[in-house]
Structure 1
Amino acid sequence: MRHLKDFQFIEAVARAGSIRKAAEDLHITASALNRRIQRFEEDFGTRIFERLPRGMRLNPAGELVIQHFRSQQSDLRRVQSLVADLGGERRGHVSIACSQALAPYFLPGQIARYRAEHPGVTFSVQIRDRAAAEEDLRSFHSDLALVLEPAHLADVETLAVLTQPVHAVMRADNPLARQAEIRLRACLDQPHVVPGRSYAVRRMLEAALAPTSRQLSPILEADSFDFMRHYVEFADALAFQIPVGLRLPPGLTSRPLARRDIAPGRLILGQLRGRSLPVAPARFAQQLMQALDHLAK
């Protein structure tokens, strides 16, 4: 357990970038924290930090050490969950990195459903773009990721996939609303708002337009899908979103973009490859897999 405490100190220094700032965050003296780090390096047999003129940062050995500690911490949580389950306590914690589209409706409903049966389980939800969600898995900051079109997938074990077409969100009186599906070029002929370049929906739109002579000409860019949807309520414009995140107010509607213009995206539920999840995250993952399978039907 002493080494787990060392990990907390090491991680705090790595996060803060200096002994002084980390000591303030930990509410201990800088000299005590520095001694603790030096003692660990002596026991370990090598330095794990680079001492810089304006602070400290992990060296390659330190990166390996902190990854090992995070793995140990995850394993300990898994054992604690198993022990709690033996006593019928059903406790634990689930940490999820998710795309913004899952935050308004799908994920709150799933968490509420799970906690109704397991009230001792707590949750934390981090809204992440596709690259940041994968990094959260690698750093053990999240047990699960539920994201649209992950960037790499090299370190991610895919648990479930849900196909998601891109929808155009518009006013109900927009002439395009009379069509079952709409062409991408028709959307570009109208004022449109788009998410930033780090978001999968933006990447999908740009990839679809790459072979053509057309391009996005947004009147507005935003990093909030809620903001863009609300903007359409006030202005005659189109926004783009995946259907799992849509629950539109009166006056707004959505239509899927034609698949011959833009291929559907993949909403992926995943965990870090090779990691054994604690009981609560593993069971919640099973519930999510069933929910995604139901939506696919």
Structure 2
Amino acid sequence: MLHSARLRYLDAIVRRGSIRAAASELNVASSAVNRQLLALEERIGAPLFERLPRGIKLTAVGEIVIEHVRATLKDEARVMARIGALRGSQRGAVTIAVTPGLADGPMPEIISQFIGARPSTKVGLSAMRTDQIASAVVNGEVDLGLGYYMLPNPALLSLMTLPTEFGVVVAPSHPLAGRKQVRFSHLLEHKLVLTEPGSSLRQTIDRALLQRGISLRPDVETNSIETLKRLVAGGDWATLLNPFDASIECRSGRLVFKRLEGGKLSGQLLCLVARAGASANPLVNLFVEELRTALPLSASFMDAG
């Protein structure tokens, strides 16, 4: 390892919330972790944690130090991945944060294909809101972020943008599944479930409805894409989704994606980002290329009508 065990110990303490839990994860004695922490605090000249009756909490100095520690450990992982790639082994790890819909949609298959071609590779996948994704990338917690409508940020490097369109998603047995063309007005005749107000997708849908002077009142609103899809799969419900959030179900035939009449309706802009200035990592670059190829293919099921 390129860096002191103290950095790893500190990272484990923060992640696990206590010295004892960190020691258990690291498979060392609690006293050893505590000694390393005290030595680090002595070197810095300030306490890193507040010792509270129910645990520990980072001090302001501790917040600064842990940000540096995590960036340092991520840089070490990138260096090791580059060395592994030079040796031809492609060993190492790639970490990515994505929206819950993508985590439950195309990402498992994409990751499986990537690892299948590189058995020594590990991929870490985290599901987060888009604002959390951006922060995780900037803070060095993950290598890549994939989400919708990433706000411009000089600390982020854009690697890919992919326009999407939303459409009607129903079960194969639903009356709308057999229609050659589907209009917004058709949704007024059926039970409707939508993502909750304020979500990225819902804002996109509401803008499209406002432009057309149409008002839809969903019977159910939820912040869970999985709950939404399970309702729709029951046969009686309709919803509006982008193709990535329903890719697995539509490709398997459990759900049907219908484009809305009037041509493509602009949906969310899918953005892939990395931390600006991050060290080059051949393994991450390979995963980026995998995403650039696989994501468009995952939406190739869309009904052409």
Unaligned residue ranges in structure 1 (runs of 5+): none
Q: What residue in structure 2 maps to residue 221 of structure 1? A: 222
What are the Cα deviations for residues 219-266 of structure 1, in whole angstroms up to 9, with x where unaligned?
2525133x4223223241112321134242547422234689964111
Which residue of structure 1 lines up, in the alignment, with residue 148 of structure 2?
148
Distance 1:16 1:222 in 2: 28
1:186 deviates by 4.4
Q: Matches of 2:289 and 2:13 in 1, distance apart?
A: 36
Establish whether residue 169 from structure 1 lines up as the match of residue 169 from structure 2: yes
- Aligned counterparts of 2:261 and 2:273: Cα–Cα separation in 1: 28
Distance 1:45 1:199, change over 3 A: same
Corresponding letter in the other structure for 1:81: A
Q: Which range is displaced more, 87-96 or 247-256?
A: 247-256
Could you list the per-position Cα deviations for residues 172-197 of structure 1 after superposition, in whole angstroms to 9, with x for gaps in the alignment?
Answer: 442475253532x5435532223356
1:114 alignment counterpart = 114
Report what 2:81 is aligned to: 81
1:265 aligns with 268
Of the three residues 257, 276, 281, the one matched with 2:279 is: 276
**Shift, 1:278, TM fit:** 2.1
Take 2:31 and 2:285, find their aligned partners in 1: how far apart are those partners? 41
* 99-108 or 31-40, which deviates more: 99-108
TM superposition shift of 1:169: 0.8
- SS of the residue aligned with 1:192? strand
Whole-angstrom distance in 2 between the partners of 1:238 and 1:78: 45
- Aligned-pair distance for 1:281? 1.0
8 Å CA contact 1:19, 1:55 repeated in 2 = no
Please report the TM-score for the alignment, with normalisation by the length of structure 2.
0.79
- Output the amino acid matched with 2:42: E
Aligned residues: 295
Q: Percent identity?
A: 25
TM-score (norm 1): 0.81
CA gap of 1:284–1:16, structure 2 versus 1, over 3 A, is: closer
Q: What one-letter code is carried by the residue in structure 1 that aligns with 2:73?
A: Q
Instruction: Supply the distance in 2 between the matched residues of 1:219 and 1:201 (Cα, whole angstroms).
Output: 15
Distance 2:262 2:66 in 1: 45
Cα contact 1:18–1:55 (8 A) shared by 2? yes
How far did residue 57 of structure 1 move?
A: 1.7
Stretch of structure 1 that moved more, 97-106 or 32-41: 97-106
- State which drifts further: 137-146 or 208-217: 208-217
CA distance in 2 between partners of 1:198 and 1:142 (Å): 26
Structure 2 residues not aligned, in runs of 5+: 301-305
Q: Which amino acid aligns with 2:274?
A: Q
Partner Cα distance (1:6, 1:34) in 2:
10
Structure 2 counterpart of 1:178: 179
Asked if the contact 1:82–1:278 (Cα under 8 Å) also holds between the matched residues in 2, the reply is yes
Alignment root-mean-square deviation, CA: 3.4
Change (3 A) 1:146 1:54: same
Alignment CA distance shift 1:138-1:198 (3 Å) = farther
The 4+ residue runs of structure 1 with deviation greater than 6 A are 210-213, 258-262, 293-297
Q: Deviations over 1:89-143 (max 9, x none)?
A: 2212111222233345633443344334433222222222322322332343321
* Residues 120 and 272 of structure 1, relative CA distance in 2, 3 Å threshold: same
State the alpha-carbon separation in 2 of the partners of residues 60 and 2 from structure 1: 27
Match for 2:124: what amino acid?
Answer: S
| Displacement after TM superposition at 1:163 (Å) | 0.8
> How far has the Cα of 1:18 moved from its partner?
3.4
Q: For residue 269 of structure 1, what is the amino acid of its counterpart?
A: L
Q: Which residue of 2 aligns with 1:287?
A: 290
Letter in 2 for 1:86: L
Distance 1:175 1:235, change over 3 A: closer
- Counterpart amino acid of 2:115? R
Deviation sequence 1:136-157 (CA, Å, 0-9, x none): 3234332112223336756422
Question: What's 1:68 paired with?
Answer: 68
Following the alignment from structure 1 to structure 2, what is the Cα–Cα distance between the partners of residues 209 and 118?
Answer: 45
Q: Does 1:134 align with 2:137?
A: no
- When residues 60 and 44 of structure 1 are mapped into structure 2, their CA distance, relative to the original with a 3 A threshold, is same
Alignment of 1:23-102 (within 5 A): 23-102=23-102
Residue 264 of structure 1 aligns to a residue whose secondary structure is strand
Deviation for aligned residue 1:42: 0.7
